[in-house]
């Protein structure tokens, strides 16, 4: 694993905007960054990332059975009690799931360490599945990459296959919050893939969802039988229409049981069940006790690095502010992100259905990866 400087493609920003990638820059700072790429060997990808991703995914699914059978665990995850039965019913009905992303600390030699599961509303899909693949093809054609370079990236193909196999109700709706350009871009990408898979798709702003007689409906009062919502379950359960979730016949992607796996509390529960696993870090529900050799303190319900506190083994303390301060916390042993030059590097590993589907890389000048952290493409080359 190494970081290699690279020449950006001429006119890439104009191309990005022509294909709907309108969030390639945030507040004047690059989000998509092709001034460098990361290079992996095939063995690093297959043995150190792909295989552990699928194993950890299965371990997480196996853990759901334990959680839905134990009210104490549902309490530990801060699931609102009025939704316990619905969460359990969602799991026991085997409601299908689509995708998720694991975040790893990995330096190319030691085992990848699981930092968290993003299993409800993970973004960076478009950048991973489409834009970095186009970057690879363009740079190979321009001679900027060595011939034979490949990429661990079957994300778009696996998503299209999944949409074709899930037997979803139609028309199938896709929703995101109105003000987020990134969320809309992600939903547009998923909807385009679903259309290619043969689904009849419609977009609706999340704020336009309605309720008639306990059923979720669109602006025309038409019952929504199937909905992909790029909006966290923990937010959905706090909305005015949350009660509709209990009465609606809507099939949700992701299903309600996914709220158990997108919760940071899954990390201590995984450690309890699989203590000592080489890809897991010691993690505990926070009781104020510090961990030796550095730690992170994370809210059960937080996203994009918000509200994280971090203490390194040599005493460096970092804290990221944010809005997620109304739930419990966990404490996880620190596995510092590897540093390449001035860049701390995080690897996101995608799962579609139950299969590993590729990686994305984010880097920052801080040990805490945030929504503003840069996206860097990658290649496989032996």
State in Å, rounded, how far the first CA of the chain is from the last one: 11
DSSP string, 247-314: H--PEEES-GGGGGTSSTTHHHHHHHHSTT-TT---EEE-SS---TT-EEEEESS--TTTT-EEE-TT
pLDDT at position 319, please?
Answer: 85
Q: What is the CA radius of gyration of the chain?
A: 21
Over 90: is that where the pLDDT of 325 sits? Answer: no
Enter the DSSP assignment of 82. Answer: G
Q: Which of 164-168, 310-314, 371-375 has the highest mean pLDDT?
A: 164-168
- Smallest Cα–Cα separation from 203: which of 234, 236, 221, 229? 229
Under the banding of pLDDT at 50, 70 and 90, the label for residue 380 is very high
Under the banding of pLDDT at 50, 70 and 90, the label for residue 371 is confident
For 218, residues 6+ apart whose C-beta sits below 8 A from its C-beta are 173, 202, 204, 208, 209, 210, 224
User: How many whole angstroms separate alpha carbon 230 and alpha carbon 206?
Assistant: 9
pLDDT at position 301, please?
Answer: 87
Asked whether 280 and 270 are in contact (CB, 8 A), the reply is: yes
β-pairing verdict for 2-5 and 172-176: unpaired
pLDDT at position 291, please?
Answer: 79
Query: What is the average pLDDT across 249-275?
Result: 97
Q: Could you write out the three-class secondary structure of 301-325? A: CCCCCCCCEEECCCCCEEECCCCCC
User: How many whole angstroms separate alpha carbon 19 and alpha carbon 108?
Assistant: 33
Q: Per-residue pLDDT tens for 60-98?
A: 999 999 999 999 999 999 999 999 999 999 999 999 999
pLDDT at position 369, please?
Answer: 86
Under the banding of pLDDT at 50, 70 and 90, the label for residue 304 is confident
The rounded mean pLDDT for the chain is 94
Under the banding of pLDDT at 50, 70 and 90, the label for residue 306 is confident
Q: Which position has the higher pLDDT, 293 or 68?
A: 68
**Residue percentage of the chain with pLDDT more than 70:** 99
pLDDT at position 307, please?
Answer: 83
Q: Is the pTM of this model over 0.85?
A: yes
User: How many whole angstroms separate alpha carbon 352 and alpha carbon 358?
Assistant: 9
Query: What CA–CA distances, in Å, run from 209 to 19, 183, 247, 255, 296?
Result: 28, 17, 15, 17, 37
Over 90: is that where the pLDDT of 382 sits? Answer: yes
Enter the DSSP assignment of 231. Answer: S
- What number of residues does the chain have? 382
Going 88 to 90 to 96 to 97, the CA torsion angle's sign is: negative
Over 90: is that where the pLDDT of 13 sits? Answer: yes
Weakest mean pLDDT among 93-102, 260-269, 366-375: 366-375
Q: Where are the alpha helices (DSSP H) in 41-116?
A: 42-43, 51-68, 71-76, 84-92
User: How many whole angstroms separate alpha carbon 18 and alpha carbon 28?
Assistant: 19
For 152, residues 6+ apart whose C-beta sits below 8 A from its C-beta are 40, 45, 49, 50, 358, 359, 378, 380
User: How many whole angstroms separate alpha carbon 318 and alpha carbon 259?
Assistant: 28
Tokens in use for 250? 């809507």
- Smallest Cα–Cα separation from 50: which of 268, 356, 374? 356
pLDDT at position 98, please?
Answer: 97
Q: Per-residue pLDDT tens for 203-240?
A: 999 999 999 999 999 999 999 999 999 999 999 998 88
Domain extents for the chain?
A: 2-263+339-380, 266-333
Over 90: is that where the pLDDT of 357 sits? Answer: yes
**Residue percentage of the chain with pLDDT more than 90:** 84
pLDDT at position 193, please?
Answer: 98
Over 80: is that where the pLDDT of 292 sits? Answer: no
C-alpha 16: how far from its chain's center?
22
Query: What is the average pLDDT across 149-162?
Result: 98
């Amino acid at each position: 694993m190494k970081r290699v400087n690279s020449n950006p493609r001429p006119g890439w920003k104009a191309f990005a905007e022509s294909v709907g990638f309108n969030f390639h820059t945030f507040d004047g700072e690059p989000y998509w960054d092709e001034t460098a790429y990361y290079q992996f060997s095939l063995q690093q990808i297959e043995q150190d990332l792909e295989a552990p991703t699928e194993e950890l995914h299965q371990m997480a699914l196996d853990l759901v059975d334990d959680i839905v059978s134990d009210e104490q665990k549902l309490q530990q995850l801060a699931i609102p009690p009025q939704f316990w039965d619905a969460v359990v019913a969602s799991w026991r009905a085997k409601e299908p799931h689509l995708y998720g992303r694991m975040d790893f600390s990995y330096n190319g030699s030691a085992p990848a360490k699981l930092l968290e599961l993003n299993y409800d509303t993970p973004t960076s899909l478009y950048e991973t599945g489409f834009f970095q693949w186009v970057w690879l093809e363009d740079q190979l054609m321009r001679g900027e990459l060595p011939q034979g370079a490949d990429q661990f990236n079957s994300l778009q193909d696996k998503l299209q296959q999944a949409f074709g196999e899930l037997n979803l109700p139609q028309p199938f709706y896709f929703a995101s919050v109105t003000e987020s350009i990134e969320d809309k871009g992600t939903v547009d990408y998923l909807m385009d893939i679903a259309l290619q898979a043969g689904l009849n798709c419609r977009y609706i702003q999340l704020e336009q969802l309605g309720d008639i007689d306990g059923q979720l409906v669109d602006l025309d009062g038409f019952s929504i039988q199937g909905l992909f919502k790029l909006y966290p379950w923990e937010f959905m359960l706090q909305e005015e229409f949350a009660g509709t979730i209990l009465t609606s016949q809507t099939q949700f992607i992701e299903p309600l049981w996914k709220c158990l796996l997108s919760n940071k509390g899954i990390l201590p529960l995984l450690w309890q069940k699989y203590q000592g696993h080489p890809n897991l870090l010691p993690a505990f529900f926070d009781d104020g006790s510090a961990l030796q050799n550095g730690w992170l303190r994370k809210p059960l319900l937080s996203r994009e690095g918000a509200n994280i506190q971090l203490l390194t083994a040599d005493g460096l303390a970092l804290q990221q502010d944010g809005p997620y301060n109304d739930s419990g916390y966990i404490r996880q042993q620190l596995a510092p992100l590897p540093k390449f030059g001035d860049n701390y590097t995080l690897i996101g590993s995608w799962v579609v259905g139950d299969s590993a589907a590729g990686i994305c890389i984010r880097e920052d000048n801080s040990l805490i990866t945030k929504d503003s952290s840069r996206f860097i493409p990658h290649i496989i080359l032996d």
